[in-house]
Amino acid sequence: MAEPALTSALVDCQWLAEHLTDPDLVVLDASWHMPGAKRNAEQEWLACRIPGARYFDFDNRIKDQHSHLPHMLPDVDLFSREASRLGLENHHRIVVYDSLGIFSAPRAWWMFKVMGHQQVAVLDGGLPAWKRQGHTTEQGTALRVLPGQYKASWSPGWVRNATAVLDALSNPACRVLDARSRERFHGEAPDPRPGVRAGHMPGAVCLPFTELLEDGHLLPRERLVAQLNSVLKPEQQLICSCGSGVTAAILALAAEVSGHRQIAVYDGSWAEWGSRDELPLATGESPG
Tell me the catalytic residues.
242
DSSP H helices in the chain: 13-19, 41-47, 76-85, 105-114, 126-132, 162-169, 182-185, 221-229, 248-257, 269-273
Q: 251 and 240 in contact (C-beta within 8 Å)?
A: yes
Residue 84 burial (10 A CB sphere; 0-12, 13-18, 19+): middle
Mode of pairing for the β-strands spanning 213-214 and 120-123? unpaired
Cα-Cα-Cα-Cα dihedral sign, residues 202, 193, 158, 208? negative
Q: 121 and 58 in contact (C-beta within 8 Å)?
A: no
Question: Of the candidates 118, 119, 137, 135, which has an alpha carbon nearest to the alpha carbon of residue 44?
Answer: 137
CB atoms within 10 A of CB 141: 6
One-letter amino acid for residue 116 of the chain: G
User: Which phi and psi (to 5°) does residue 271 adopt?
Assistant: -60, -35
Distance (Å, whole) CA 229 – CA 234: 8
How far, in Å, are 239, 266, 267 from residue 156 at the CA level?
13, 12, 12
Q: SS3 of 167, please?
A: helix
Residue 156 burial (10 A CB sphere; 0-12, 13-18, 19+): exposed
